[in-house]
């Protein structure tokens, strides 16, 4: 019986791993440049960590089970509750603002569709302990520069920003009580993917009057207010002005349709999309000032975002921004005289010790075959151990140009090291 991977789970063959490593390297490099430190948590957590605060959608997608000790546990569907738990437990050990990042693998039992799998890797960057909108600006700047780090430009993506406080101000004016705001956000979050009649029906079921529902839809579509803009609009305006000071205003756009699907957000929220709007969100996040208190009892403001590797990978592929498969070995040692195998083994070991990536045929084989393997394994040079070995020399052949030179054995490492 031939086994297959489970639906929504990926095999990473070496070429896929190269792409994944490229993405992780850019994520790490940008985060470190912004002064963020890397952390991680466990992939398995108590089920309750998610049922309390993440919101129904994600809870419906949990991979959960009872472990052998009778505990209700779940594979992590997101990292934010873990971060809230970890920071809450050791908050005093760290100067504020805490700026941390992580690259966890996450698991969600989703309905499979383009850009959505049942496992994905997600770059998470969060700032904890700063209330001011300056932190929101810093975080969104990191998001933009992370995408720019892959070679994407303002023509390729846009960050759509809104503020749940503005929405709450508007909803109060429309007579929709605070206890129904989370449910309204869950409906607004799906507006773009659903027929208007379905959305209207959902508002009806929630007890929102049809006049209020119409005003909500108008605001979502146009950003226009019925009456004066709520006072809460001021923070968002400051946010946009500060993004302008950073020279990044072309990358952001106020869009009230962005409210986010997760339950814990409390302020500015945002999602990054490809400009053509063909793909699902590349990244999403926002402020969640109450989550730490709820999870850990420690009252600290917080904000962050998550960027998945799936949609980002699709966009980079489409824009031709994935790395080409380059040479993987500095040298392949070709053993032209089998009697010289002992010397060749020593040479390979010495070269590796000196930092040269090299390989060789593990058993005797024709010289032509060994050259074929050198090319197939992506070597820059072939080093031939043959007749000239007795004179203290080896032939180095550049596989791209076919140029050959004789090099003293003692100088081989310096000649073959990467960058030489
Ligand atoms: P999220 O919007 O659920 O937020 O996920 C963030 C990003 O992860 C999405 O925009 C998408 O690129 C990717 N993603 C999510 N689910 C999948 C999936 N099933 N398959 C492929 N990619 C996926 C969060 O998870 C928040 N915890 C982010 C956050 C951090 N908020 C504050 N700090």
Atom of ligand 1 nearest to the CA of 77: 25
136 lines ligand 1 (CB under 6 A): no
Are 138 and 286 part of one and the same domain? yes
What is residue 228's predicted lDDT score, i.e. its pLDDT?
65
Q: Over pLDDT 70: what percentage of the chain?
A: 99
**Which of 271, 291, 318 marks a domain boundary?**
318
What is residue 160's predicted lDDT score, i.e. its pLDDT?
97
306 lines ligand 1 (CB under 6 A): yes
**Which of 288, 318, 348 marks a domain boundary?**
318
pLDDT for residue 227 is more than 80 = no
pLDDT for residue 322 is more than 80 = yes
- Provide the residue range defining the domain that includes 385: 329-416
- CATH number of the domain enclosing 89: 3.30.930.10
Q: Are 243 and 249 in contact (CB under 8 A)?
A: yes
Atom of ligand 1 nearest to the CA of 61: 19
Specify the length of the chain in residues: 420
Contacts of 289 (CB under 8 A, 6+ apart): 131, 266, 267, 301, 302
Residue 332 CA to residue 359 CA, distance in Å, equals 5
Residue 399 CA to residue 378 CA, distance in Å, equals 9
What is residue 308's predicted lDDT score, i.e. its pLDDT?
98
Are 297 and 252 part of one and the same domain? yes
304 lines ligand 1 (CB under 6 A): yes
Q: Are 396 and 383 in contact (CB under 8 A)?
A: yes
63 assigned to some structural domain: no
231 C-alpha to ligand 1 centroid (Å): 30
Cβ density class 210-227: b for 16+ within 10 Å, e for less: eebbebbbebbeeeebee
48 assigned to some structural domain: no
Structure tokens at 253: 């756009």
Query: What value does the mean pLDDT of the chain take?
Result: 94
- CATH number of the domain enclosing 368: 3.40.50.800
268 lines ligand 1 (CB under 6 A): no
281 lines ligand 1 (CB under 6 A): yes
Are 275 and 386 part of one and the same domain? no
Q: Are 418 and 369 in contact (CB under 8 A)?
A: no
Are 234 and 368 part of one and the same domain? no
Mutational pocket test of ligand 1: of 78, 117, 128, 288, the residue with most ligand atoms within 8 Å of the beta carbon:
78
Closest CA to 108 of 313, 288, 261, 266: 261
pLDDT for residue 359 is more than 90 = yes
**Which of 286, 318, 350 marks a domain boundary?**
318
Are 292 and 404 part of one and the same domain? no
Least confident of 105-114, 154-163, 340-349: 105-114
The residue-averaged pLDDT of 353-359 equals: 97
**Structure confidence by residue, pLDDT tens digits, 26-80:** 999 999 999 999 999 999 999 999 987 766 777 889 999 999 999 999 999 999 9
What is residue 112's predicted lDDT score, i.e. its pLDDT?
84
Pairing of strands 283-287, 268-274: antiparallel
**Structure confidence by residue, pLDDT tens digits, 246-270:** 999 999 999 999 999 888 999 999 9
Give the single-character DSSP code of 163.
Answer: E
110 lines ligand 1 (CB under 6 A): yes
What is residue 8's predicted lDDT score, i.e. its pLDDT?
96
Give the single-character DSSP code of 116.
Answer: B
pLDDT for residue 226 is more than 80 = no
Are 335 and 273 part of one and the same domain? no
Are 263 and 390 part of one and the same domain? no
305 C-alpha to ligand 1 centroid (Å): 8
Atom of ligand 1 nearest to the CA of 312: 12
pLDDT for residue 224 is more than 90 = no
82 lines ligand 1 (CB under 6 A): no
What are the beta bridge partners of residue 127?
A: 99, 303
The residue-averaged pLDDT of 112-136 equals: 96
Are 391 and 295 part of one and the same domain? no
89 assigned to some structural domain: yes
Are 275 and 375 part of one and the same domain? no
266 lines ligand 1 (CB under 6 A): no
Counting the structural domains of the chain, the total is 2
235 lines ligand 1 (CB under 6 A): no
Confidence of residue 418 (pLDDT cuts 50, 70, 90): confident
pLDDT for residue 113 is more than 90 = no
346 assigned to some structural domain: yes
Q: Compute the chain's Rg from CA coordinates.
A: 28
Pairing of strands 252-254, 268-274: unpaired
The closest residue, in CA terms, to atom 26 on ligand 1 is: 306
The residue-averaged pLDDT of 295-308 equals: 97
The residue-averaged pLDDT of 374-402 equals: 96
H-run or E-run covering 72 = strand 72-75
Least confident of 286-300, 313-327, 348-362: 313-327
Are 397 and 364 part of one and the same domain? yes
Are 280 and 185 part of one and the same domain? yes
pLDDT for residue 390 is more than 70 = yes
259 assigned to some structural domain: yes
336 assigned to some structural domain: yes
Q: What are phi and psi of 60, to 5 degrees?
A: -65, -15
Are 313 and 343 part of one and the same domain? no
Atom of ligand 1 nearest to the CA of 124: 30
């Amino acid at each position: 019986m031939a086994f297959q991977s489970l639906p929504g789970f990926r095999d990473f063959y070496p070429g896929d791993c190269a792409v994944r490593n490229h993405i992780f390297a850019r994520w790490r490099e940008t985060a470190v440049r912004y002064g963020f430190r890397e952390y991680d948590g466990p992939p398995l957590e108590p089920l309750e960590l998610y049922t309390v605060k993440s919101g129904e959608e994600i809870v419906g997608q949990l991979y959960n089970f009872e472990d052998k000790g009778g505990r209700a546990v779940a594979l992590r569907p997101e990292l934010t509750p873990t971060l809230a738990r970890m920071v809450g437990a050791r908050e005093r050990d760290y100067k504020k603002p805490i700026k941390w990042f992580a690259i966890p693998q996450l698991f969600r039992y989703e309905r499979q569709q383009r850009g959505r799998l049942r496992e994905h890797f997600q770059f998470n960057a969060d700032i904890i302990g700063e209330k001011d909108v300056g932190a929101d600006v810093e975080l969104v700047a990191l998001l933009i520069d992370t995408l720019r780090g892959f070679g994407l430009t303002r023509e390729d993506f846009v960050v759509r920003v809104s503020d749940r406080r503005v929405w709450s101000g508007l909803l109060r004016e429309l007579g929709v009580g605070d206890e129904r705001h989370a449910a309204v956000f869950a409906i607004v979050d799906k507006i773009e993917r659903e027929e208007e009649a379905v959305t209207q029906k959902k508002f009806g079921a929630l007890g929102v009057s049809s006049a209020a529902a119409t005003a909500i839809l108008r605001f979502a579509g146009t950003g226009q207010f019925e009456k004066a803009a709520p006072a809460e609009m001021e923070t968002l305006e400051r946010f946009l002005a500060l993004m302008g000071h950073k020279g990044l205003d072309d990358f952001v756009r106020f869009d009230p349709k962005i409210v986010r699907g997760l339950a814990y957000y409390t302020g500015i929220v945002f999602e990054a999309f490809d400009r053509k709007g063909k793909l699902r969100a590349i990244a999403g996040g926002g402020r969640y000032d109450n989550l730490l208190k709820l999870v850990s009892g420690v009252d600290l403001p917080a904000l962050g975002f998550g960027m998945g590797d799936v949609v980002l990978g699709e966009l980079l592929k489409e824009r031709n921004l994935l790395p080409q498969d380059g040479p993987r070995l500095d040298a392949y040692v070709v053993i032209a005289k089998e009697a010289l195998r002992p010397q060749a083994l020593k040479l390979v070991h010495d070269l590796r010790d000196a930092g040269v990536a090299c390989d060789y045929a593990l058993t005797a084989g024709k010289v032509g075959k060994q050259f074929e393997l050198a090319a197939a394994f992506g070597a820059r040079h072939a080093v031939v151990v043959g007749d000239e070995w007795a004179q203290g020399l080896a032939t180095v052949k550049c596989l791209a140009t076919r140029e050959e030179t004789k090099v003293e054995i003692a100088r081989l490492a310096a000649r073959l090291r990467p960058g030489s």
